[in-house]
Amino acid sequence: MKAEDMKRKVSPIDLERILVTGGVIKHEDSIWLLDFWGNKDIAGILLMPPTRHVILHLNDCCKWKEYFRTKKKFYRS
């Protein structure tokens, strides 16, 4: 990524890809994120401070990672 990329707005194509891949669902409690991100530039997204909500998810991911590392076998149900 170059310095001039930091001033680039998040493109509608990228926002649509987030929606199509399931990063955000078409529910009123989550669809607003696309509008929020669409008004930011790349620097604004990268420099967004971690919120308590994000930290909560990182904590869960660390717990899952440790769980999967200590399991000998993983079976899908």
Q: What is the pLDDT of residue 75?
A: 58
In a domain, 75, yes or no: no
Say if residues 5 and 43 touch (Cβ distance below 8 Å): no
pTM: 0.57
Helix H, strand E, coil C: the string for the chain is: CCHHHHHCECCHHHHHHHHHCCCCCCCCCCCHHHHHHHCCEHHHHHCCCCCHHHHHHHHHHHHHHHHHHHCCCCCCC
Digit-coded pLDDT (tens) for 29-60:
888 999 999 999 999 888 887 777 788 888 88
- The residue range of the domain holding 26 is 3-70
Within a domain: residue 51? yes
Tell me, yes or no, whether 76 lies in a domain. Answer: no
**10 in any annotated domain:** yes
Cα separation, 46 vs 8, whole angstroms: 12
Confidence of residue 73 (pLDDT cuts 50, 70, 90): low
Provide the number of structural domains found in the chain.
1
